A and B are shown apart, each in its own frame.
Chain A
Amino acid sequence: MKKVLNLFLLLLLLWLGWKFADWALIRAVWQPDAAACRAASGACWGFIVEKHRLIAFGTYPYEEHWRPALSSIFLVALWALSAVRSFWKPGLILIWAVGLTAIGVLMWGGIFGLPYVENERWGGLILTLLLTTFGLAFAFPLSILLALGRRSELPLIRSLCVAYIELVRGVPLISVLFMASVMLPLFLPAGVSVDKLLRAQIALSLFAAAYLAEVVRGGLQAIPKHQYEAADALGLGYFQKTFLIVLPQALRIVVPPLVNTCIGFFKDTSLVLIIGLFDLLSTIKVSLNDPAWTGFGVEAYLFAALVYFVFCFAMSRYSRSLEANSGSG
């Protein structure tokens, strides 16, 4: 009985796999030729080939595409470098500072003979990566403050932090993004305008901070009470106790769940599409608007899924390996 079921399942899987391979590979069209695509009964990867520049770089000036390409490589390299445990030293901050300055120079230009490109024209993969990087960079310190505040003995600070965390976690990200894109300008004095990219970045950071704060709080709660008491017995003040004794241990525990929250955040940056920024998903959606190429949404979104999957899968494998290491060490 078991064997029959297994055989049946295996056959079913093989059949489905064959159907998919037939559509995606055998009968697929790889040349950027819309007419051939419409005639064929398979997938149309020619669409991706035709639009790869727009998808990868958005509306960045065509001749300057090497700049976001190089920036994307730099940024991914920085992330990869930071994932190695033996690089977790203060010098890493310096490497990041140098790396981000280089990326800023490359992307904006205006010096070293590079033409200036305003950030309204940034798009594609680099925008997704930058939104993730800066979102986390701002959210992380804020989340530590929120987590500490939530465990504070001062009722006012505690209730403010609880209210912030619960409020943000109770509403969808899209409402926070709408707030940043339509409500924030109303509160600024006349004549002051904050750029759309920056507004979205602030909204994403404020949103991520609430979720990260709960992860950090989990780490704080996992620190045994005697660590606090020992620090008190040594006569350490609140700040010394927190920053020298408690936080270093708490953050070490929560690295795997932090990475998982980062994966979630990376996926969430795709929502900036709704407020009109040209991130990776948005450039894919826009390239479908070309009248010559409408109707290839399935292929386009499979490709989007593949790109996001590669990044997220790498991060989740990394998080697993960290968990495995901390378990044995």
Chain B
Amino acid sequence: MLAYSAADTYARALLVGLANTFQVAILGIAAASLIGAGIGLLSLSPNALLRNLAATYVEFIRNVPVLVQLFFWYALLTEGLPPPREALSPLPGVFLTNRGLFFPSFSGVPELQGFNFAGGAALSPEFAALLIGLSLYTAAFIAEIVRAGVMAVRRDQWHAAQALGLERRHVLRYVVAPQALRVIIPPLTSQYLNLTKNSSLAVAIGYPDLVSIANTTINQTGQAIEGIAIIMAVYLTISLAISALMNWTNARLR
């Protein structure tokens, strides 16, 4: 996100790493929440097909290490997609290649120039693999939390709401959701923290997050203690900050 050149200081490099960690964590949390809530609600659906589909998803994703999933998505994006000259274009202006995903933005539309696309916005395969892998992985856990939260709302609350003549989606929105959220938020917090901590696996697929850059810094300077102290201090701060924020939300809901 931030500009970086080889002449910059290590502090600048670490700052760039921190920004990259935040970028993937924030987008990942948003995507995982949406997918997770969707799958959690599907697993409560009256339709058996949808319910089984959601259960299968959760079972498969949860029982495979997140690192394997990251490698898989990275391999799929770099090996499964064609080179830029034969790019897949599912929508006009959107190009899927093994050099990254390109799509139009305010600054213009991507165009093939030389060996790669230029203009518009781009996602590197590393970033895309990390984002997809982390979101889908965490979504499986969030789906289970959402399901447990909704099931924790007593049956008679549903019946009472239905007796009042509310539709299913209104029952969910006005009666069940406010009560379920109280159950959902504490475990949800720890899933958000897990996603943020798992984003450190970026080092394995070459996305320059904080851990990856700190690791390079340690290798170049030999200052192992300082490097690791920085990693730990940053993650502890993030952990405490997210916990505090969620406690505050939790207190307001009560």
Contacts and interface: CB of A to CB of B under 8 A. Distances in A.
Contacts of A313: 59, 63
Given A305-B64, A308-B64, A313-B59, A170 B211 contact: no
Interface stretch (B69-77, B113-121, B153-161, B245-253): B69-77
A313 B232 CA distance: 32
A178 interface: yes
Contacts of A178: 211, 215, 218, 228, 231
Contacts of A5: 47
Contacts of B201: 174, 271, 274
B68 A301 contact: yes
A182 B64 contact: no
A39 to B, nearest CB: 16
Interface in A144-203: 167, 169-175, 178-179, 182-183, 186
Nearest to B224: A182
Contacts of A172: 197-198, 200, 211, 231, 235
Nearest to A174: B200
A4 interface: no
B230 to A, nearest CB: 10
Main secondary structure on A side of the interface with B: helix
B183 interface: no
Contacts of A274: 201, 203-204
Most chain A CB within 10 A, of B59, B203, B218, B232, is at B232
B80 A298 contact: yes
Interface string B151-172: 0000000000000000000000
Most chain B CB within 10 A, of A13, A171, A273, is at A171
Contacts of A6: 47, 49
Given A6-B47, A174-B203, A273-B204, A298 B224 contact: no
A298 B79 contact: yes
Contacts of B60: 309
Given A175-B232, A267-B65, A285 B59 contact: no
Contact of B71 (A182, A263, A285): A285
Most chain A CB within 10 A, of B47, B197, B218, is at B197
Contacts of B67: 270-271, 273, 281
A305 B69 contact: yes
Interface residues of B, number: 41
Interface in B198-250: 198, 200-201, 203-204, 211, 215, 218, 224-225, 228, 231-232, 235-236, 239-240
Interface residues of A, number: 42
Most chain A CB within 10 A, of B53, B75, B236, B239, is at B75
Contacts of B181: none
Contacts of A316: 59, 62-63
Contacts, number: 115
Contact of B231 (A171, A296, A309): A171
A110 to B, nearest CB: 33
Given A172-B211, A309-B63, A167 B236 contact: yes
B50 interface: yes
Most chain A CB within 10 A, of B53, B64, B80, B225, is at B64
Interface in B61-96: 62-69, 71-72, 74-76, 78-80
A265 to B, nearest CB: 11
A298 B231 CA distance: 31
Nearest to B46: A2
B240 A170 contact: yes
Given A170-B235, A273-B204, A281-B67, A305 B228 contact: no
Contacts of B68: 270, 281, 301, 304-305, 308
Given A183-B228, A281-B67, A302 B200 contact: no
A195 to B, nearest CB: 18
A107 interface: no
B64 A309 contact: yes
A6 B72 CA distance: 31
A263 B235 contact: no
A298 B76 contact: yes
A141 interface: no
Contact of A300 (B47, B75, B197, B225): B75
A186 B225 CA distance: 9
Given A274-B204, A298-B76, A175 B224 contact: no
Pairs of residues from A and B, 8 with the lowest C-beta to C-beta distance, nearest first: A297-B75, A312-B63, A267-B65, A170-B239, A301-B72, A172-B197, A172-B200, A270-B65
Interface of B: 47, 49-50, 53, 59-60, 62-69, 71-72, 74-76, 78-80, 193, 197-198, 200-201, 203-204, 211, 215, 218, 224-225, 228, 231-232, 235-236, 239-240
26 contacts: A6-B49, A9-B49, A9-B50, A9-B53, A172-B231, A174-B201, A178-B218, A178-B228, A178-B231, A182-B224, A182-B228, A183-B228, A267-B65, A267-B66, A268-B65, A273-B204, A281-B65, A296-B79, A297-B71, A297-B76, A298-B80, A305-B64, A305-B69, A308-B68, A313-B63, A316-B62
Interface of A: 2, 5-6, 9-10, 13, 167, 169-175, 178-179, 182-183, 186, 263, 267-268, 270-271, 273-274, 281, 285, 295-298, 300-302, 304-305, 308-309, 312-313, 316
